[in-house]
Every structure is written in structure tokens, then in C-alpha cells.
Amino acid sequence: MRALSFLLTAFLCACKPSSPPSVYMSSPNPRPPLGPPGCARPIAGGYMDDRLGTPCHFTMFRGAKVCLPNNMGLVIFGVCDPTGKTERIWINREPNCLGNGTSKYVISTIDLQCDATLGGNIQVVDPMPLADQVLYTNDQNGKNCMPSSLSGNALHPVHNIAPPPIPRFIYETDLPSTVCK
């Protein structure tokens, strides 16, 4: 009887969620959607996402077929700002299967496999690379932002994260999932 009550208690505890599920759980800074996603307008050679102001193409991203921004760069890693003002990000702008890497939209993903469903997070960066291309990283204690021996370059520049009110992350629910009629 004790074993049965233990199993019943374990079952009830396992089934009771501690918080409601969210589609934004994989992004570090959850926010509400930008609103109902628009449709992708056909243009020569593809589609246009008018809300984000960028050409896009349909592919699977985080389990949904959406119009993903073209020409996204790949996030190498985040770097600190020695003044403490803005978060910076180091980007790989080399051409890849997402395009030529020149977009203000960048994706952080562990493994870029364009023939499979893409995962990761889409972030928005300031389109202009920083004049200071020194890579600053936190010390071992994570308290001091120190210059490293690495620096950005034309194909691997350092950018600021886009300033507010521009959202830092773009979710699959923000992207068009239909073609405009």
C-alpha cells in the first residue's frame, strides 16, 4: 500500500506543471510577439517581409515553416563593452547557406544545417560595425571587461546589439508563415 501511495504521489507531482509552457522559452529574454505576423510579399527572386524590412525565404525554423530573413550572419559569441553601455556581438559574415551574411539579422545556432530544421535564436544588430574592433571579454571572475588578443575584421566584425525600441530577438511567431495574396 505504501508503494502504491508513493507511486501515486510521484505521478501527481510529475504531472503538475510548475509554470505554463511558453513558446519563448529558448530565448534568453522572453517578450510578447510583435503582433500578428504579416504575410510574405512575392518579389523577384523570393519574398519580402515588410514588417522587418528584409527579403526572406521559406524554411523550417524552430518547428515552424516561416519566411526567414535572407543573408543572416552567424553569431560567433557575445563580447562585453568596456564602458558597460551596450552589449556587443562578434559575427561571422562569411557567405553560408543562408546567404551572403550581410543582414542586420544574425542567428546563433550550435550547428548550421540548412537542409534540416534550423534552431537557435535570431538577433538584431546595429548594421554598422564598431570602429573599435577589439574583442573585450570578461575576466575569470566575470567582473571586469578586458581587451583580448583577438580583434574583429571585415568578415568577422564586432557590432552593437540593436538599440531599443528595436527588439533584440526575433521569434518564429514574428515571421510570416504565409504568402500575401
Window from 8-17, 36-45, 99-108 with minimum mean pLDDT: 8-17
Q: Which long-range contacts (CB under 8 A, 24 or more apart) does 77-83 make?
A: 79/135, 79/136, 79/137, 79/158, 80/136, 80/137, 80/138, 80/145, 81/136, 81/145, 81/160, 82/136, 82/145, 82/147
Residue 129 pLDDT exceeds 80: yes
Task: Say if residues 93 and 101 touch (Cβ distance below 8 Å).
Answer: yes
Mean pLDDT over all residues of the chain?
79
pLDDT tens-digit map of 83-121? 887 788 999 999 888 889 899 999 987 677 776 678 788
For residue 168, give the nearest of 30, 8, 19 by alpha carbon.
30
- Give the pLDDT confidence of 61-90 residue by residue, as tens digits: 888 899 999 999 999 888 888 888 778 899
pLDDT at res. 31: 61
In this model, does residue 34 exceed pLDDT 90? no
Distance between CA atoms of residues 48 and 141, nearest Å: 45
Q: Are 173 and 166 in contact (CB under 8 A)?
A: no
User: Bigger pLDDT: 165 or 13?
Assistant: 165
Which pLDDT score is estimated for 32?
65
- Asked if the model's pLDDT at residue 27 lies above 70, the reply is no
For the whole prediction, is pTM greater than 0.85? no
